[in-house]
């Protein structure tokens, strides 16, 4: 392989990988200088001239002519008079010899090694560029095409054919994709694994929901409305606290849109995730009250030092505050940064604490809890309001199972 073939093939390969000309020239020179150092121990007295467009390569070695008996004759940048005159008979002591070194002088094996090194350097550069590109895109929405759907993850490709990874843990439980489907997600993290960049996407991150609001709500994109905090149970429910510094703008109304037009597209993207948009406020009691929407609260006792808050509601509001699967109260707690305890506010001022059935999941099997929820019983007290006979009639549970559940729940309140 001569130098023109080597450089032309490398230039074509570099062009396919979108490598710019200065970078390509730098890589070529680095590889050739490595070859020179391997053969001549140093490259200090060598010049390399590359014309990638024409496939031209010139390597010139410069040495000063010294007397044959000189002590400097073994220096890398010196040449004896007799050797210099073999190149050009008219040379004299003190002159500089410029000698062209041909690529084939390095040997066929060295040339083939150089070719492989050039290709590898481009591949390494491509990996580095991909890593840096997506490192700058962390937290931003991208669109990829699903090309391999597996049990634990889904592989996508971007517009340039780069591989992206969407783990099962970062997918919404209701997501169902097939090969060729277009998938929207945020760049969650970028890491190097065994020298290869791994781009991990997410559809469950709160940031994904935040970016969707920026895309759908111009006031959020323009900074007129600020998203203070986002909490999610992906695919089930989310709460978004928003604030506007312009009194003329209703942040909740702007985010929801006319007849829900803006938020509906977000809800569809998130597989019908129920999104509560609430007005942020520094008033903690009001903020807690809004966070538990749609439940109506009768009284609140905040114990900020202990990181807890006691919320009192009418009996018919308890299940609304807790929500399906306990999602509403869990999200509200995360939104306000306090653990929320729910109590029934009974007639006469007596207060009765209630507990979500999910709290008993370590003692009661999940399928049993689901059966109670199927008939509208979400909390411990709601179960205790019915007799054992009623529970046997209304559920598909055995009498022995119901007895066991009732005993567990009663022990909680004793």
More confident residue, 101 or 290: 290
Both 15 and 120 in one domain: the answer is yes
Q: What is the CATH number of the domain that holds 114?
A: 3.30.1480
Q: What is the pLDDT of residues 250-302, one digit of tens each?
A: 999 999 988 888 999 999 999 999 999 999 999 999 999 999 988 888 888 88
Q: What is the pLDDT of residue 323?
A: 83
Q: Return the CATH number at 145.
A: 2.40.50.140
Residue 67 lies in a domain: yes
Amino acid 348: pLDDT: 47
Whether 238 maps to a domain, the answer reads yes
How would residue 226 be classed by pLDDT, with cut points 50, 70 and 90?
very high
272 and 247 in one domain?
yes
Can you tell me whether residue 361 is helix, strand or coil?
A: coil
DSSP element (H, E) containing 125:
helix 108-135
User: Do 54 and 24 fall within a single domain?
Assistant: yes
Q: In CATH, what number is assigned to the domain containing residue 239?
A: 3.30.300.20
Percentage of the chain beyond pLDDT 90 is: 36
Last residue of a domain, one of 103, 132, 161: 132
Model pLDDT, residue 4: 63
What is the rounded distance in angstroms from the CA atom of residue 281 to the CA atom of residue 228?
10
Highest-scoring range by mean pLDDT, 3-17, 116-130, 269-283, 372-386: 269-283
Instruction: Tell which of 228, 259, 280 closes a domain.
Output: 280
Give domain status of residue 250, yes or no. yes
Please give the tally of structural domains in the chain.
3
Look at residue 362 in the predicted model and tell me its pLDDT.
78
Domain carrying residue 245: 218-280
Give CA separation, 210 vs 93, 206, 238, 255, in Å. Answer: 77, 6, 11, 11
Handedness of CA 377, 378, 382, 388 (dihedral sign): positive
| In-domain check, residue 329 | no
My answer on whether 92 and 73 are in the same domain is yes
The distance of Cα 302 from the centroid of its chain, to the nearest Å, equals 36
CB count within 10 Å of CB 234 equals 22
Residue pointed to by tokens 């391997």: 38
Residue-wise pLDDT tens digits, 112-157 = 887 788 788 888 888 888 999 999 999 999 999 999 999 899 999 9
- Helix, coil or strand: residue 379: strand
| 160 shares its domain with 191 | yes
- Domain-embedded: residue 299: no
Give the mean pLDDT of 165-177: 93
**Residues ≥6 apart with Cβ < 8 Å to 26:** none
Q: Which of 42-51, 77-86, 108-117, 201-210 has the highest average model confidence (pLDDT)? A: 201-210
């Amino acid at each position: 392989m001569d130098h023109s073939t080597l450089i032309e093939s490398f230039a074509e390969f570099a062009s396919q990988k979108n490598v710019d000309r200065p970078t390509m020239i730098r890589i070529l020179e680095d590889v050739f200088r490595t070859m020179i150092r391997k053969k001549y121990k140093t490259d200090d007295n060598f010049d390399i001239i590359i014309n990638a467009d024409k496939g031209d390569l010139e390597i010139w070695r410069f040495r000063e002519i010294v007397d044959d008996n000189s002590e400097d004759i073994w220096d890398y940048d010196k040449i004896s008079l007799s050797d210099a005159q073999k190149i050009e008979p008219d040379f004299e002591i003190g002159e500089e010899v410029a000698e062209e070194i041909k690529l084939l002088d390095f040997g066929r094996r060295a040339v083939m090694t150089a070719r492989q090194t050039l290709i590898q350097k481009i591949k390494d550069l491509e990996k580095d560029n991909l890593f840096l590109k997506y490192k700058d895109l962390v937290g931003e929405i991208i669109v990829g095409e699903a090309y391999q759907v597996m049990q634990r993850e889904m592989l996508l490709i971007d517009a340039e054919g780069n591989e992206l990874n969407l783990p099962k843990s970062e997918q919404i439980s209701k997501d169902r994709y097939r090969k060729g489907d277009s998938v929207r997600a945020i760049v969650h993290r970028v890491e190097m694994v065994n020298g290869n960049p791994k781009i991990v996407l997410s559809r469950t991150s709160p940031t994904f929901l935040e970016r969707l609001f920026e895309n759908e709500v111009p006031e959020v994109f323009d900074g007129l409305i600020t998203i203070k905090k986002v909490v999610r149970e992906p695919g089930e429910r989310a709460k978004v606290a928003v604030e506007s510094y312009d009194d003329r703008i209703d942040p909740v109304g702007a985010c929801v849109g006319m007849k829900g037009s803006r938020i509906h597209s977000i809800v569809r993207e998130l597989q019908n995730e129920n999104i509560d948009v609430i007005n942020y406020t520094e008033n903690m009691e009001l903020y807690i009250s809004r966070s538990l929407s749609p439940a109506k609260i009768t009284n609140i006792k905040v114990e900020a030092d202990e990181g807890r808050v006691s919320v009192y509601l009418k009996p018919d509001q308890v299940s609304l505050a807790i929500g399906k699967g306990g999602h509403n109260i869990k999200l509200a707690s995360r939104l306000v940064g306090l653990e929320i305890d729910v109590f029934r506010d009974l007639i006469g001022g007596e207060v009765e604490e209630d507990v979500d059935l999910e709290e008993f999941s370590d003692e009661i099997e999940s399928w049993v809890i689901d059966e109670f929820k199927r008939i509208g019983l979400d909390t411990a007290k709601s179960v205790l309001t019915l007799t054992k006979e009623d529970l046997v009639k209304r559920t598909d549970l055995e009498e022995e199972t119901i007895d066991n559940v009732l005993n567990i729940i009663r022990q909680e309140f004793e």
